[in-house]
Amino acid sequence: MDIWIPSLSGLVGVIVGGLISSTAQKAMTFGKLNLDQLNAYNSYVDRITANIEEQIIVYTLVVTSLESQIVASNGHSRLVIEEDKATRVDVATVEWRNIFARRYSLTGRYLFDALVTFDISRSNFIKALNGRKLNKLRSLADALDSDRKRVLYACRIGTLQHTIALVNTTLSWPERRKQRKILLAEIENLSEQLEAVN
């Protein structure tokens, strides 16, 4: 019977070592997957942020230009959007369509809802702009800016959610718990700020 004990303990050692190795390999694989997802999300968020900021800038320039034309002509001239501004609007719109189309695969609930809300406001603004309804443009531009803030808060929440997934697969249990608590508190704070945006 004593002959089996060293053989059995060696077998148990091999099995335990294999389990530890397998678990470590899974953690590394999940960590890499979560890091890849975080990088893809951050790249998407960079595109969103740059495009939304460009839209806000160009729309503000267009509204200011149209208002100046009204003042200069005492309201009697045909309003014209300068070619350079019209081109910027067109370029921003094409990029926005590409960004907006990817919302199904790369966003969570907060960002998805914020992008849809921003798109509705953007569409309303463009319709008023095409119809030269200047009395509506300023208030629609303000609504668009509020929706921009919603998108930015939602982007940050999404980044934190992806970071939590990464923390879950790469840190030890005590450190994971500490970091999750910090990240979840920040998500809760940002969620409240998101809800408070008019």
Entry pTM? 0.78
Q: Residue 23: which residues within 8 A CB-CB, separation 6 or more?
A: none
CA neighbours within 13 Å on the CB side: how many for 41? Answer: 24
User: Which one is predicted more confidently, 7 or 143?
Assistant: 143
User: Which one is predicted more confidently, 4 or 136?
Assistant: 136
- Annotated domain spans of the chain: 34-196
Look at residue 21 and tell me whether its pLDDT is greater than 90: no
What is the number of other CB atoms lying within 10 angstroms of the CB of residue 19? 10
- Residue range 150-165: mean pLDDT, rounded: 91
Looking at every residue in the chain, the average pLDDT score rounds to: 84
